[in-house]
Amino acid sequence: MSTQAQPQHYARAIYDIALETWIRQLGDVQRAINSDAQLRQDLQDRDAPVGQRLQRLEGTTPGGLDPDVRRFLGTVLEAGDIDQLDAILTELGRLARRGPMRKTARVVSAVPLTSAEQAALRDKVSRRFGADLDFQFEVDPALIGGVLLRVGDQVIDGTVVAKLAALRDRLAS
């Protein structure tokens, strides 16, 4: 692997390409619906087959629709929620600005934590750092006891090994 191309760069490129396709195509559909009252009325006609309404939408996008976008719009049409497209695009834009990466709370303990301990730790950490966290629990017996928590660039080291090292440093001073 080159030193320039890290896995996260490739993953971000895939994310950006996929997101760009969705936003572009849904935006084309949105503009067509907002500028054509007859199209809007045709799409809201629940008596017309979904496939027929979807074909009408497909004609509004230069080059047609990506198969996944087409399936999504079919679902929206079937549910009768095509009038929600503006709100859907607004929310998609909000999610896109947040980025693909959720913060990970990496919890390392000397012994495996029970489900109850994990749940309590999730609750406490989420209250401090926010609810939008992915948790990763690991075991490292070298810590002797306690927990090492890393969220983003913040580290809380409550391990016995860290406390012993701090004590050793104080005694050496």
The pLDDT, as a whole number, for residue 50 is: 93
Looking at the fold, whether 112 and 90 belong to one and the same domain comes out as no
Asked whether residue 2 is domain-assigned, the answer is no
Among 68, 98, 128, the domain-final residue is 98
Supply the range of the domain harboring residue 18: 7-98
Lowest mean pLDDT across 2-16, 21-35, 115-129: 2-16
11/93 same-domain check: yes
Q: Which tens digit of pLDDT belongs to each residue from 54-97?
A: 998 888 888 889 999 999 999 999 999 999 999 999 888 877 77
Q: Residue 161: which region, alpha, beta or left (left: phi > 0; alpha: psi -120 to 50)?
A: alpha
Residue 97 has a pLDDT of: 73
Q: Looking at residue 16, what is its pLDDT? A: 81
| 17/118: higher pLDDT | 118
Which of these three, 78, 98, 118, is where a domain ends?
98
Q: Are 126 and 79 part of one and the same domain?
A: no
Residue 69 counted as domain residue: yes
**Residue 157 within any structural domain of the chain:** yes
pLDDT at position 98 is 67
Identify whether residues 123 and 92 lie together within a single domain. Answer: no
State residue 148 phi and psi, 5-degree precision: -110, 125
User: pLDDT over 90 for what percent of the chain?
Assistant: 60
Provide the b/e sequence for 99-123 (b: ≥16 CB within 10 Å): eeeeeebbbbbbeebeeeeeeebbe
Q: How far is CA 60 from the centre of its chain?
A: 29
Specify the pLDDT at position 14: 83
Number of domains composing the chain: 2
Q: What is the pLDDT of residue 96?
A: 77
Examine the domain organization and report whether 53 and 91 are in the same domain: yes
Per-residue pLDDT at 2: 47
Of 6 and 115, more confident: 115
Among left, alpha and beta (phi > 0; psi -120 to 50; other), residue 149 is beta
**CA distance linking residue 85 with residue 87, whole number of Å:** 5
What is the per-residue pLDDT for 134? 85
Q: Quick one: how far is CA 30 from the chain centroid? A: 23
| Residue 123 and residue 83 share a domain | no
Residues near 125 by beta carbon (within 8 Å), at least 6 away in sequence: 105, 107, 133, 135, 149, 151
SS3 label, residue 107: strand
pLDDT at 1: 43
pLDDT at 117: 95
Residue 75 shares a structural domain with residue 50: yes
Residues 12 and 93 in one domain: yes
Does one domain contain both 91 and 113? no
Tens digit of each residue's pLDDT (9 = 90 or more) over 125-165: 999 988 878 899 999 999 999 999 999 889 999 999 889 88
Could you tell me the CA-to-CA distances from 111 to 96, 116, 143, 146, 164 in Å, in that order? 38, 14, 9, 9, 18
69 and 120 co-located in one domain: no
Considering the domain boundaries, does residue 151 fall inside one?
yes
